[in-house]
Structure 1
Amino acid sequence: MKVEIWSDVVCPFCYIGKRKFENALKDFAHRDEVEVLWHSFELTPDFEPIPGESIHESLAKKKGVSAEEGRKMSDYMTTAAKEVGLDYQFDKTIPANTFLAHQLIHLGAHHGRQDATKERLLAAYYLEGQNIGDLDTLVKLGTEVGLEAAESRAALTAGTYAEAVRLDEYHAQQIGVRGVPFFVFEDKYAVSGAQPSELFAEVLEKVYDEFKPTKPALTMVANGDACGPEGCEV
């Protein structure tokens, strides 16, 4: 059974949604038959970080609110993350463009290390305050999940997987993805947002029971907390 997930590395609900889905998958009797594929989605493709600007200021600017309101939104997401065991460190978070990070995830997929690469980048950004828009940082993080430093540097410098990122994003447009995380089960059912683990568990059971090789139109199961080009709805 195939589960495809569109998400961005700088989407707080994407990390939360990843944990909620993983918790459901952990208890799914047929988890060994589930193939999870990560797809690229850039919330702000043209984002250019301003040196010294905090994530609170960056978020406030994107949402058109005060820096204090930006901090309150960060606090809300920090609380939501703690519910799934994630300790967000927004005061250390460095705003970043994620185009290179998505390319590294595709390189990880090429070597069978896609989920590990995705997880490492999310942790680096939200828990450790590392700059995931920096080439040297990405190369270092890649080595921590088993990727060769020389290959990572060459691929990121040459844009080897740039087209793969754009193809993911084009596919997202074609199926109507407006916010992430966005989960597609066997090209049949879609779940938008960081839904409760119980809902993911229900969908896993439903899709497994109905498993067929056909590809009908998507049926939206639920909408929830997600991030879009204009920011995260909280």
Structure 2
Amino acid sequence: MKVEIWSDIICPFCYIGKRNIETVLSQFPEAKSIEIEWKSFQLDPTFPQIATDNHEEYLAKRKGFPVEQVKVMLQNVTNTAKQAGLDFHLEQSVIVNSYNAHRLIQFAKTKGLGDEAEERFFKAYFTEGKDMANLEILTALGKEIGLDEEELQVAFTDNQYAEKVNQDIDEARAIGVTGVPFFVFDRKYAISGAQPPQAFLQALEKSFGEWQQQNPKAKLEVSNGESCDVDGNCE
């Protein structure tokens, strides 16, 4: 059963939501039957390609929030992240455009490394304060998760990966996504936001139960003969 997650790697609650659903999946008996697909989303496509402000400066200067209010807001987010086992350093996180990062994630998905890319990019941004619009940094992070340095450059030059990003964003609009994270279970149920693990468990149990009824495991009558097993025994 597929669970689709619309996410932006510069969204703190997307990282928190990722960890919360992972907590549920680690205890879910049928976790091997769940396929996670990451979908691209941009909170603000107008964010700059070159970093100028960190989170505190952006909220204070661009949004007009009082500095003390911003500090409290960011500390609350940091505390929420800590409850999910994450170490945020929002004072280091710089506001940049995430489009190139999404292109690389789309490429990583073709190599079966979409989840690894999401995880590494989230950590790089929220814990390590890396500039996630910088192509050299993105390339280095791609290499860390096992992508070939020369091959992954197509993520930034081949329009098919940009088109995949755009398709995800268009699809989000079509189904009414206005904020992330946004989780869709088997195209039947959805959860908006980084809700507690219990909320994910309820949605997962309900959607998987229905999916399982529609996709029952095959029960075969087997006539046994001479064969070899996976342990190398032949008899």
Give deviations 1:97-127, integer Å, cap 9, x for gaps: 0000011111110000000001000000001
Structure 1 residue 54, shift from structure 2 partner? 2.2
Tell me if 1:173 matches 2:173. yes
Alignment match, 1:141: 141
Structure 1 residue 62, shift from structure 2 partner? 4.6
CA distance in 2, matches of 1:95, 1:8: 12
Alignment match, 1:64: 64
Which deviates further from its counterpart, 30-39 or 59-68?
59-68
Q: Which amino acid aligns with 1:136?
A: E
Q: TM-score, normalised by structure 1?
A: 0.87
Query: Paired residues, what number?
Result: 214
Alignment match, 2:21: 21
CA distance in 1, matches of 2:27, 2:203: 13
CA distance in 2, matches of 1:109, 1:58: 31
Query: Which structure 1 segments of 5+ residues have no match?
Result: 215-234
Q: Which amino acid aligns with 1:30?
A: E
CA distance in 1, matches of 2:95, 2:135: 14
Query: Which structure 2 segments of 5+ residues have no match?
Result: 216-235
Task: From the superposition, tell whether residues 51 and 130 of structure 1 become closer, same or farther in structure 2 (CA, over 3 Å).
Answer: closer
Tell me if 1:116 matches 2:116. yes
RMSD (Å) for aligned C-alpha atoms: 1.6
Q: Is the 8 A contact 1:101 1:138 kept in 2?
A: yes
Q: TM-score, normalised by structure 2?
A: 0.86
CA distance in 1, matches of 2:60, 2:157: 32
CA distance in 1, matches of 2:204, 2:110: 26
1:1-234 counterparts in 2 under 5 A? 1-48=1-48, 51-211=51-211
SS in 1 for 2:143: helix
Structure 1 residue 60, shift from structure 2 partner? 2.9
